[in-house]
Amino acid sequence: MSEPRLTLRLDKWLWHARFCKSRAIAHALVVEGRIRVNGQPTDKPARAVGYADVLTFMQGGRVRVVRVLDIGTRRGPAEEARLLYEDLTADTAPSAVVPEM
């Protein structure tokens, strides 16, 4: 018998992984239909996400694509949050070079 897949609510995962400053902001982002899970749009904050799910959403004026690696148990420091996902976003924007004055 296989072990059940570990999952977490989408809004809570976004908050744990530090993509949103508060769970209320994460909830609003999902309710507005601005998140895709495995290519399918969702507006359900309670949508379960787990290992290997791919999330697509806008953040800071660019499209982010991340693969869930872990669900986490708390909202910890940024270094801990970074271990919850793999960033699949293609960095197509040229790096901004600011001339020294």
pLDDT at 82 over 60: yes
Name the domain count of the chain: 1
Q: What is the pTM of this model?
A: 0.85
Kindly state the average pLDDT of the residues 5-23.
96
Kindly state the average pLDDT of the residues 4-10.
93
Assess contact for 20 and 35: CB atoms under 8 A: no
Domain limits for position 32: 7-87
56 falls within a domain: yes
SS3 string of 22-78?
CHHHHHHHHHCCCEEECCEEECCCCCEEECCCEEEEEECCEEEEEEECCCCCCCCCH
Q: In this predicted model, what pLDDT tens digit does every residue of 19-59 receive, in sequence order?
A: 999 999 999 999 999 999 999 999 999 999 999 999 999 99
| CATH (domain of 27) | 3.10.290.10
